[in-house]
Amino acid sequence: MMNDTLTSDVIGRRVEVNGEHATVRFSGVVPPMAGLWLGVEWDNPERGKHDGSHERTVYFKCRHPTGGSFIRPNKVNFGVDFLTAIKNRYALEDETEEEGKEQIVTIGNKPVETIGFDSVVKQQSQLSKLQEVSLRNCAVNGPGDKGGIAKACPNVRSIDLSKNLLSSWDEVVDIADQLKHLEVLNLSENKLKFPSGSPPPTGTFSALKVLVLNRIGITWTEVLHCASRCPVLEKLYLESNGIVISERPTDVLQTVKLLDLSSNQLIDENQLFLIAYMPRLEQLILSDIGLASIHFPDAGIGCKTSMFPSLQYLVLNDNRISQWSSINELDKLQSLHALSCTRNPLTESSKDAQTTRQFIIARIGQLRTLNKCAIQREERRGAELDYRKAFGNEWKKAGGHQDPDKNRPNEEFLAAHPRYQSLCLKYGAPEDGELKVQQPFLLKNQLLTLKIKHPNQLDQKVIEKQLPESMTIQKVKGLLSRLLRVPVSELLLSYESPKMPGREIELENDQQSLQFYSVENGDCLLVRW
């Protein structure tokens, strides 16, 4: 806290008032009110009352018409330095009775009386051993005395400084300069002022591998500026910053393996091309950026793109992807093995999530994990066979043929189904008998209400499910595999019917439907593993 006789320059300082954070924009007199006032702009504009004006006089400006307030200095918390915060959080707080007693120690030849000497030694020892430090929301405002951090806690490797009162990147640098082993730094929810101009030589963050800068209002240019001082950076988190990717990173971000750009709604497909050649990027998180489509213009049908050469895991949750063409494009990525693509129009509009999953698997040949669920060999085989069958009639109409010499589907079909021809080579072209009478998948009159029992697992409850009679045994196994968390390859299915008491019929052909085996309403599926 500061008193009403505040005289130091406080403009730009970060402050906390009753749990709310703000930035000081004005310090002075506000007539006709007596005394000194601070004008603050709140992080949460709903906390304020005005735009920095009072009785038609503008004292400071806010980005929001209700983002400002005038507050007495003694109501404001300017925070504490890093060293004070770390001592408050981690140092010994309670002395024992023995430690508090007067003791005699010898320094040189002189006996010296001390109080709590052991406590001081233990406190210093405790701080020097710290490797992971969490000071989230501890009102940290800067480094404190020069060299104090390096002396007190030189072995710190991970710091959470999120939601504090740091006001500039220079303050962060002053802290990091004293921590030569720092590998993980979280600065989320700090409103930092970043330097402009050329960065100084690398070294301050020489060991830093993980940098978290979520919700701090940083720009892409500032990201590149700061990251240029991190020569071994591997993970960079930039969620909810309103970032526009404005330039290609050259000589920076070259070691980054994970990049999180979630909830930056101004990023579009063309901006992603600017980061497409980061050589070591293995994981890219693009959740909730409003992405509607994906296209790699450098690669034709059936070819691999040169973009994102090392990308193994892509997250596209909560976007606006609605066309299968975007899923087809992902098959062009050289190294993609895992994809998360939930809560998109493409995946939400279909009432049959299992079929959507199967089609994604079939369209991306090298995928091993979809939506954090491993793709077993049996599931891929079933997905590709079902996909091949589902679009068989369309393939034939487009010029497809069982005779390889006559098999020439048109360009429109090949663009819509780039992998179809390779699936025909893998499994053979679909026969006419497979393609007869394709009925709608989820008509209400085709739903079967079935009980599901587990004869060998007495602790498993009997459940009831509604399944389409046209559902293949492979898809039933896939559903049960996720429900029971048992690999598809270990599941054995059979069923019994009230019409045939005492008789159990095995469901042994994965490509046949429930209807094929004459499964009816009220029958009971038996699941063993």
Q: What does each of the 529 residues of the chain score in pLDDT, given as a tens digit?
A: 444 445 458 898 999 999 999 999 999 999 988 899 999 999 998 989 899 999 889 999 999 999 999 999 999 999 999 999 999 988 754 444 444 445 454 444 445 444 444 554 555 568 888 999 999 999 999 999 999 999 999 999 999 999 999 999 999 999 999 999 999 999 999 999 988 766 665 568 999 999 999 999 999 999 999 999 999 999 999 999 999 999 999 999 999 999 999 999 999 999 999 999 999 999 999 999 999 999 999 999 989 999 999 999 999 999 999 999 999 999 999 999 999 999 999 998 766 788 899 999 999 999 999 999 999 998 999 999 999 999 999 999 999 999 988 999 999 999 999 999 999 999 999 887 777 654 444 444 478 899 999 888 877 888 899 998 888 999 999 999 988 888 998 999 999 988 778 888 889 888 888 887 888 888 999 999 8
Overall fold of domain 13-75: SH3 type barrels. (2.30.30)
Which residue pairs from 393-396 have beta carbons closer than 8 angstroms and sit at least 24 positions apart in sequence? 393/435, 393/438, 395/420, 395/430, 396/435
Confidence at residue 122, expressed as pLDDT on a 0 to 100 scale: 57
What is the structure's pLDDT at 511? 86
The string of DSSP letters for 324-340 reads: HHHHHHHTT-SS--EEE
Which ranges constitute the DSSP H helices of 283-410?
324-330, 345-348, 353-363, 377-390, 392-397
Q: What is the pLDDT of residue 286?
A: 98
Location of structure tokens 């005492």: 502
Query: What's the pLDDT at 52?
Result: 93
**What does the pLDDT read at residue 51?**
92
Domain ranges of the chain: 13-75, 80-93+112-193, 447-528
| pLDDT at residue 96 in the model | 42
Question: Could you write out the DSSP letters of every residue in 252-264?
Answer: SSTT--EEE-TT-
Class (C level, CATH) for 447-528: alpha beta
- Predicted pLDDT of residue 303: 94
Beta strands 132-134 and 158-160: pairing type?
A: parallel
Instruction: Determine the pLDDT at residue 121.
Output: 53
**Per-residue pLDDT, 108:** 46
Are 13-75 and 447-528 the same fold in CATH? no
449-461 residues labelled b (16+ CB within 10 A) or e (exposed): ebebbbeeeeeee
Dist CA 278 CA 256 (whole Å): 8
